[in-house]
Amino acid sequence: MTANNSASASSADTPMIEVEGLNKWYGDFHVLRDIDLTVGRGERIVVCGPSGSGKSTLIRCFNHLEEHQQGRITVDGVTMTQDIKRIEQIRRNVGMVFQHFNLFPHLSVLDNCCISQTWVQKKPRVEAEKTAREFLERVQIADQADKYPGQLSGGQQQRVAIARALCMRPEVMLFDEPTSALDPEMIKEVLDVMVELAHDGMTMLCVTHEMGFAKTVADRVIFMDQGQIIEQAPPETFFNNPESERTKLFLSQILGH
């Protein structure tokens, strides 16, 4: 899965994502403030923080779903500019999974997984289908390949969404609260897929409030508040000895009493 079959501009020891002095505004509202961040290859990062702190906005900058006004973002050696060719080059290397799945309801599960292979990678149909089935198998949903997204449960849909992103064989996967729209009994099936992916060595950036997941797979946990990175540390340190008062308050709120 980590096979580097894309023509990446960088060698194996450059960071996967490099962010320097990132600032972003919505009108007058300063959402992201002086963000500096380096994500190494194969690193698994969990981003948490209160609602409205800018977590989604931050990771959506990495594939230019949001535009930043200041600072530099480099993904796999390619620096983000306004140039659409370059943005699309970056997007081919970055997979994204959304809170609300965002599957294409008019396409079958299989076609959801084939569409970017066919139209972006220009693979022949047979080959695209083979890859699609392979990844659907990995997320344990191969038997639903011919159904439409509307006929699947939330957990199944999210697993299809993960398979769809993996079909492009991205270098890094971004997850924006992948389990928060799911019923409790479906959260586990999605988390299991994510844990497996992490064990395979995929570079991952997850916005999530699943602290169990953070403890088991994360190399680093990042805490954000009001558009800033307040604290980042390995999970043991983060959960046991948080430095900042705001982190402590946040942890006490979400870990329960």
Q: With contacts defined by CB under 8 A, how many residues of the chain interact with other proteins?
A: 29
Hey, which residues between 184 and 243 contact Mg ion (CB under 5 A)? none
In whole angstroms, the minimum distance from the beta carbon of 47 to ligand ATP comes to 9
Hey, which residues between 10 and 29 contact ligand ATP (CB under 6 A)? 26, 29
SS (H, E, C) 209-253: CCHHHHHHHCCEEEEEECCEEEEEECHHHHHHCCCCHHHHHHHHH
Q: Is 165 in the site for other proteins (CB under 8 A)?
A: yes
Q: Which one of the spans 54-62, 108-116, 136-144, 147-155 is the region binding ligand ATP (CB under 6 A)?
A: 54-62
Runs of H (alpha helix) within 75-182? 84-93, 109-119, 125-138, 154-166
Q: Is 74 in the site for Mg ion (CB under 5 A)?
A: no
Q: Which one of the spans 25-33, 149-157, 181-189, 209-217 is the region binding other proteins (CB under 8 A)?
A: 149-157
In whole angstroms, the minimum distance from the beta carbon of 36 to other proteins comes to 24
Q: Is 63 in the site for other proteins (CB under 8 A)?
A: yes
CB closer to ligand ATP out of 42 and 154 = 154
Tell me if 118 sits within 8 A of 125, measured CB to CB. yes
Q: Is 65 in the site for other proteins (CB under 8 A)?
A: yes
Q: What's the longest Cα–Cα distance across the chain?
A: 55
Site string for other proteins, 26-55 (x = CB under 8 A): ------------------------------
Q: Is 69 in the site for ligand ATP (CB under 6 A)?
A: no
Tell me if 59 sits within 8 A of 236, measured CB to CB. no
Structure-block tokens of residue 97 = 């999974």
Tell me if 119 sits within 8 A of 91, measured CB to CB. no
Structure-block tokens of residue 164 = 């769809």
Cα angle 77, 83, 85; round to 5:
75
Q: Is 63 in the site for Mg ion (CB under 5 A)?
A: no
Q: For binding to ligand ATP (CB under 6 A), which residues are involved?
A: 26, 29, 31, 49, 51-57
